[in-house]
Amino acid sequence: MLLFPVLEEQKAGVQKEASDLRASLREVEKARLEARRELQELRRQVKALDGERNKLGQEVGDLQARVARDEEKDEESRRENFGLKQKVRYDKFYLQ
């Protein structure tokens, strides 16, 4: 009769080990799902930041073009003012 209690004890040990392994597997699966959700959120954030970076890059390009046009207009105004000053001096000198 000693054989059955030993088998029952072994069976109980195996069942406990199986139960522990199932619990461990559930925890691992739970952690995997959480990591997957975090990864999806990070991907969403990267996509949003990439869109924002592209938008800001376009704005920078637009502002650089605007600055270049303004500088060109300023230079044109300086040349025009210089030309007008020269004409005024010429007119003062020769038309007096």
**pLDDT of 71:** 97
* 54: its two tokens: 């592209």
Closest CA to 84 of 96, 92, 72, 73: 92
Whose structure tokens read 């704005």? 59
**Does 87 score more than 90 pLDDT?**
no
Q: What is the largest CA-CA distance in the chain?
A: 141
**pLDDT of 40:** 98
- Summarize pLDDT for 25-75 with one digit per residue, the tens: 999 999 999 999 999 999 999 999 999 999 999 999 999 999 999 999 999
